[in-house]
Structure 1
Amino acid sequence: TSRRLVAAARPLFANDRPIVLYNPHKVRGLQSWSSFIKPMLRDFAAQQDYNLIVAPHVKMFRRRSKYARNRWRSRSTATILIDPESDRSVDNSYTTAADIYVGDVSSQVYEFLAQPRPCVFLNPHKVDWGNDPHFKFWHLGEVIERPDDLMAAINRATERHPAYLQKQRELTRSSLGDTSAGAASRAASDIIAFLDKGAGAAGCSWSASPY
């Protein structure tokens, strides 16, 4: 599984600080990148409590030049990893390794919450989101509007996490299904059972296949 692969992979940082993952989307009118990225990098560079992974949604840099991608990547440090395009942004490397999630409207939060952990959501456009079903996952962590409030929200995210834990479990299960150990094997068994049911009338069985 992705969790075992990440556990066996080379560590992302040469220290054991908690890891914060910033995973912004590119949706116009909702994205947090333009408001938050510069103060975020400044504030993380000035502290000694966390590592930071900046892994934007893959579409954000898809049409950017190689120069632009390399320029952002070059701003990485020993405690800040900026990755505008690699496979690790989509293969669960970062969502599995991180301890705290920071984002706006990327559904990748559900991959992070396959193992429930603290979240902070960014609403720089001051969207009236409370009763909007499109923002239902913003009920899974604190929502802030100003960059100046980010570090304080991150600092209290772990303490506040129990208040969101049950809702995280419920909403993630409804989005991802059962992600517990053996889920892939159970899914395969269900598929075979479904195929066998349909093939029964023809006198054959998928489960009898040597493959």
Structure 2
Amino acid sequence: MNREDLSIRSCGAKSPAIGVLAIGEPHQLLHVLGPAAELSRAGLDVCILVTTDWHEAIIARFAPDAGLRIKRLIGWRRGGAIGDKIRRKWTLYANLLTLRRFDILLTPEMTSSILRERRLFGGMMVHVMHGAGDREVEGNERARHFDLVLVAGEKTRAQLIALDHVRPETCVVAGYPKFDLIDGRRMHFFDDTLPVVLYNPHFRDDLSSWPAMGAALVRAFAEGAEFNLIVAPHIRLSGAMRAEVAALAAGPLPANIRVDPGSLHSITMDYTNAADIYLGDVSSQVYEFLRRPRPCVFLDPNQTDWQDNAFYRHWAFGRVATSVGQAMDLLRSAVTDHADHRAAQVAGFDQSICAAGAASARIARAVLAAHARRHGLPAPVGA
């Protein structure tokens, strides 16, 4: 995309100053960095408003030549863990003067909706929903406060509209901009050719398989020599679960097990690209894994009545285990069984993530078109 494609100066208007809020955990930035880079390369003034050195590391790795400005917000910190919580509301209030300098705020998180709800920001607010999982609409009633909401696929758009969280005209299917930044190249984390299993437990203890099954699963992999195992929970893991994973990572581990309590590998699809089989519960990362259809096994220690529950529709993408022993058996047959689930994986992915074209460019065009409409101007060229 070039400057002419996104031109709004031809409308006689001053180009909008765009602020990109990086006040959430670092993984969220990967969902808006691509659109920010597109807008910047097209000649617009785009500033990433960062709160940690993790955000800066992501920009340096994935958009080093995009011409993005970077501003450290009040409260910026260095050296914490990647999953450490950020005081989002405090950060917003402490930086109001800075935020009000922008015509458009582009953000992957929902806390900033208070700026509109409490009439603290008069510019245009755009939300790019991060993730494409089956629980993405949970708690997202705040989406109604944004002028424009970009979602990955028709599944999420239909759910948000049905729940009256958005109006149809303000919610656009844009695809998955994180895919524009990250290709499918496979990294190798082990020295052999054993199948690699990625275990990706959810961060919420009421939904996660880790408390009931995590430690026993690791022992089962350690006792066998059939698989390599990567344990990579969501970086928002907290409390006792976070402490247990950190302790496991710090201790001696056999050569076929890698435990990552939180790193850039956990959020940049290095593990989902490296794995042959996905093992998890309700994490939305299964959809990133299914960018390339592969075998999945799901863990249900609570014996959930899930078949007619939309929050668990991804469990149709593989077999479901209710015990560690059953999980190991299903992993052994996962490659053979994959033919039974591949069609469901492809259909589910297509409903969740629009793969047509570049999502980042689509979002950039949608943002500028919405800004033009807001000000009664003709749509920009190419929007």
1:130 is aligned, of 293, 298, 307, to 307
Contact 1:122/1:145, CA 8 A, preserved across alignment: yes
1:3 has 2:180 as partner = no
- The two structures, once aligned, show a CA RMSD in angstroms of 2.9
Instruction: Give CA-to-partner distance per residue, 1:13-63, whole Å, 9 cap, x none.
Output: 1112110000001333332101212221111112222110000111114x5
- Give, in whole Å, the separation in 2 of the partners of 1:132 and 1:158: 26
- Give, in whole Å, the separation in 2 of the partners of 1:31 and 1:65: 9
| Per-residue deviation, 1:95 | 0.6
Contact 2:211/2:241, CA 8 A, preserved across alignment: no
Contact 2:245/2:261, CA 8 A, preserved across alignment: yes
1:49 corresponds to which residue? 226
Contact 1:196/1:206, CA 8 A, preserved across alignment: no
1:159 is aligned, of 310, 315, 336, to 336
Instruction: Give CA-to-partner distance per residue, 1:129-175, whole Å, 9 cap, x none.
Output: 01111110011100010112111110011101011101101111111
Q: Determine which structure has the larger strand proportion and give its number.
A: 2
Gaps of 5+ in 2: 1-180
Q: Secondary structure at the match of 2:199?
A: strand
| Per-residue deviation, 1:197 | 10
1:71 corresponds to which residue? 247
Q: How many aligned positions are there?
A: 200
1:100 corresponds to which residue? 277
- Give, in whole Å, the separation in 1 of the partners of 2:322 and 2:274: 26
Letter in 2 for 1:87: L
Letter in 1 for 2:249: R
- Give, in whole Å, the separation in 1 of the partners of 2:307 and 2:250: 38
1:88 corresponds to which residue? 265
1:188 has 2:367 as partner = no
Q: Give the direction of change, closer, same or farther, for the CA distance of 1:173–1:188 in structure 2 (3 Å limit).
A: same
TM-score (norm 2): 0.47
- Give, in whole Å, the separation in 2 of the partners of 1:65 and 1:190: 36
- Give, in whole Å, the separation in 1 of the partners of 2:370 and 2:248: 53
1:109 has 2:282 as partner = no
- Give, in whole Å, the separation in 1 of the partners of 2:282 and 2:218: 20
Identity, in percent, stands at 34
Letter in 1 for 2:299: L
Q: Secondary structure at the match of 1:29?
A: coil
TM-score (norm 1): 0.81
Contact 1:21/1:53, CA 8 A, preserved across alignment: yes
Q: Secondary structure at the match of 2:341?
A: helix
Instruction: Give CA-to-partner distance per residue, 1:112-138, whole Å, 9 cap, x none.
Output: 011110000011001100111111001
| Per-residue deviation, 1:199 | 6.0
Q: Give the direction of change, closer, same or farther, for the CA distance of 1:72–1:205 in structure 2 (3 Å limit).
A: same
| Per-residue deviation, 1:100 | 0.2
Contact 1:32/1:123, CA 8 A, preserved across alignment: yes
Letter in 2 for 1:73: A
Q: Secondary structure at the match of 1:121?
A: strand
- Give, in whole Å, the separation in 2 of the partners of 1:132 and 1:197: 35
1:143 has 2:320 as partner = yes
